[in-house]
A and B are shown apart, each in its own frame.
Chain A
Amino acid sequence: DVKVTQSSRYLVKRTGEKVFLECVQDMDHENMFWYRQDPGLGLRLIYFSYDVKMKEKGDIPEGYSVSREKKERFSLILESASTNQTSMYLCASSHDPVGNQPQHFGDGTRLSIL
C-alpha cells in the first residue's frame, strides 16, 4: 500500500512565523502535490512537483513556497504565516507515467495561525 506521511497532524503557529510542513512518500512516486482544504471551498492546489528540484504553481501559490530536494520528500513553506492560512493541508503523491493514475493522500495537517 502507498504510504504518504505528513509530519504533524496538528500545528499551532503565530502570525509572521516561518512554517514548514513536511511530507514523505514511500512508493517512489514521481509526482507530489500540496493542497489546502477549507469548508465550502473544497480542495485547492497550492504547488506540485513532477521531479526532484522541480516545482510548479497551482491555483493558490501566493504566500507559499515548496522544496523538493529528494524524490520522497516534498516540503511546504509558509514564508510569513497569516491568519488566513489557517486550514487543513493535504499532501498527495502519484505514479503517473501515462497520465491516468490516482493521487494518494496523507492524513493532513490541521494548521492554526494565531
Chain B
Amino acid sequence: EDQVTQSPEALRLQEGESSSLNCSYTVSGLRGLFWYRQDPGKGPEFLFTLYSAGEEKEKERLKATLTKKESFLHITAPKPEDSATYLCAVLPASGGSYIPTFGRGTSLIVHP
C-alpha cells in the first residue's frame, strides 16, 4: 500500500530560524511529488512539483528537494507569514491512477 508520512506533525520556529520539513514515501515508483501550502480555512495552494531524485525547486524562502525515498521542504529565514500547514502528495507510477496520496501535513508556526 502506498504511504506518505510527513514529519514533524507540528513545528514552531522563531523568525529567521531555518528548518526543514520531511515527506517520506513508500510507493512503487514515482511519477510526481507535490508540495502544497494550506492556510487556515482555505484550500491547499500548489507550490512545487518534483519528478526525479536530485531535482530541486525554489520559491522565495522555500526550497524543495527530492531523493528516492523522501522529499524535504527547506525554509530559510522564515517569517511569520510563512505560518501554514504544508502538505505533501505523491503520484505513484503503478496502476495508471491520477489520484495522489496525501500526507497528513506539517503545521508550521513562525513566531515574530
Contacts and interface: CB of A to CB of B under 8 A. Distances in A.
B96 A104 contact: no
A107 interface: yes
B102 A42 contact: yes
Interface in B81-112: 87, 89, 91, 96-100, 102-105
Given A96-B98, A102-B49, A90 B34 contact: no
Interface string A5-31: 000000000000000000000000001
A48 B32 contact: no
Interface in A31-55: 31, 33, 40, 42-43, 45, 48, 50
- The interface size bin for chain B is 20 to 34
A104 B46 contact: yes
| Residue among A58, A94, A103, A106 with most chain B CB within 10 A | A103
Contacts of B100: 102-103
A50 B102 CA distance: 19
Given A42-B104, A100-B31, A50 B43 contact: no
22 contacts: A33-B99, A42-B103, A42-B104, A42-B105, A45-B99, A50-B98, A90-B43, A94-B98, A96-B98, A100-B31, A100-B51, A100-B91, A102-B34, A102-B46, A102-B89, A102-B100, A103-B46, A103-B89, A104-B46, A105-B43, A107-B42, A108-B43
Interface of B: 31-32, 34, 36, 41-46, 49, 51, 87, 89, 91, 96-100, 102-105
